[in-house]
């Protein structure tokens, strides 16, 4: 068990949680407990939390909204540093939207809409946080974070650094930030002036498409697999005869085969087993090996 007193000089009691159930912090709604969760609201708190963990041999991970995570049923041995509501400021200056890592991506998109700035419409329905979205270069409907990010502030080796778009090294569903284990603190997005009504109409259209074509009413981590070159994961899964296929409480969505959902009472083990079956069946039927988009963390 981790001694919470290690963090008491930095964090007030309400920002320290012991044996915290991770099912309350992921959109899959599965997973065991983390030994300790820290809820910073300042950059200095994030830096000190990471420093204290390093000095005491405590493994740690950074999470945001948990929309792309699958936490092990046995939980997480170590510390979880959650960048959430306490680190979620969004501001607009001219054509630039600045957002802290814990802000919801939809909040940043809505701030852009409020100021009639176009370019972030694609992000309005993505359920993740800004930090996670930047780290994995999240995207939807033809747009990606790399298309709008101007600058990213990160914590690297205990120091705050600013990375340009090029220095962030964005690639499909990844970045240099992810590959080198940097912590996203804030991003600035450079947008364009537009028509409020046109921006809202596009956002409404994209969100309606999500509601009608994706299982947004069920716990999931969004698209479970990366898009294979020249094809679509959902199509390959359907062609493999897996629409609606279940393992325990985990199911291939009948609405969109690219989504694994928690239909009720699923464990993370159910989800992992189903993912493995999908990959095996799709490879057998198409020769294509799917790659997960969801990130596994914890004691597997």
Provide the β-strand partners of residue 153.
162, 186
Show Cβ contacts of residue 70 under 8 Å, excluding neighbours closer than 6 positions.
Answer: 26, 28, 30, 31, 221, 268, 271, 272, 294, 295, 296, 297
Q: Which of 173, 186, 210, 253 is catalytic?
A: 173
134-137: Cβ within 8 A, 24+ apart: 134/101, 134/168, 134/175, 134/177, 134/184, 134/187, 135/175, 135/177, 135/178, 135/184, 136/68, 136/173, 136/174, 136/175, 136/178, 137/170, 137/171, 137/172, 137/173, 137/174, 137/175
Provide the β-strand partners of residue 185.
none
> Does residue 293 have an active-site annotation?
yes
> Does residue 188 have an active-site annotation?
no
Alpha carbons 208 and 154: distance in angstroms, whole number: 34
> Does residue 29 have an active-site annotation?
no
Alpha carbons 197 and 86: distance in angstroms, whole number: 31
Q: Are the C-beta atoms of residues 35 and 93 closer than 8 Å to each other?
A: no
H-run or E-run covering 103: none
Q: Which of 45, 186, 292, 293 is catalytic?
A: 293
Q: Which of 223, 253, 267, 268 is catalytic?
A: 223
Alpha carbons 178 and 254: distance in angstroms, whole number: 32
Alpha carbons 256 and 258: distance in angstroms, whole number: 5
Active-site annotation, residues: 173, 223, 293
């Amino acid at each position: 068990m981790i001694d919470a007193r290690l963090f008491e000089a930095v964090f007030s009691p309400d920002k320290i949680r012991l044996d915290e159930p991770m099912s309350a912090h992921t959109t899959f709604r599965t997973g065991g407990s983390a030994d300790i969760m820290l809820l910073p609201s300042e950059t200095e708190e994030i830096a000190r939390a990471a420093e204290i963990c390093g000095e005491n041999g405590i493994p740690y991970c950074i999470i945001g909204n948990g929309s792309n995570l699958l936490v092990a049923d046995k939980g997480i041995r170590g510390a979880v540093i959650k960048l959430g509501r306490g680190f979620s400021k969004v501001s607009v200056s001219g054509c630039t939207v600045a957002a802290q890592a814990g802000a919801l991506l939809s909040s940043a998109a809505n701030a852009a809409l409020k100021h009639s700035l176009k370019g972030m419409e694609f992000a309005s329905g993505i359920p993740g946080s800004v930090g996670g979205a930047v780290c994995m270069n999240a995207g939807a409907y033809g747009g990606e974070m790399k298309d709008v990010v101007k600058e990213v502030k990160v914590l690297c080796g205990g120091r705050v650094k600013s990375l340009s778009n090029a220095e962030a090294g964005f690639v499909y569903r990844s970045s240099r930030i992810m590959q080198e284990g940097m912590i996203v603190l804030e991003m600035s997005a450079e947008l364009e002036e537009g028509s409020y009504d046109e921006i809202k109409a596009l956002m409404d259209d994209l969100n309606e498409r999500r509601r009608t074509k994706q299982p947004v009413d069920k716990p999931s981590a969004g698209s479970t697999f990366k898009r294979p070159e020249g094809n679509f994961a959902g199509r390959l899964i359907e062609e493999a005869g897996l629409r609606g296929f279940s393992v325990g409480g985990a199911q291939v969505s009948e609405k969109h085969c690219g989504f694994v959902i928690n239909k009720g009472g699923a464990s993370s083990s159910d989800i992992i087993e189903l993912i493995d079956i999908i990959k095996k069946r799709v490879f057998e039927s198409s020769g294509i090996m799917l790659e997960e988009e969801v990130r596994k963390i914890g004691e597997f």
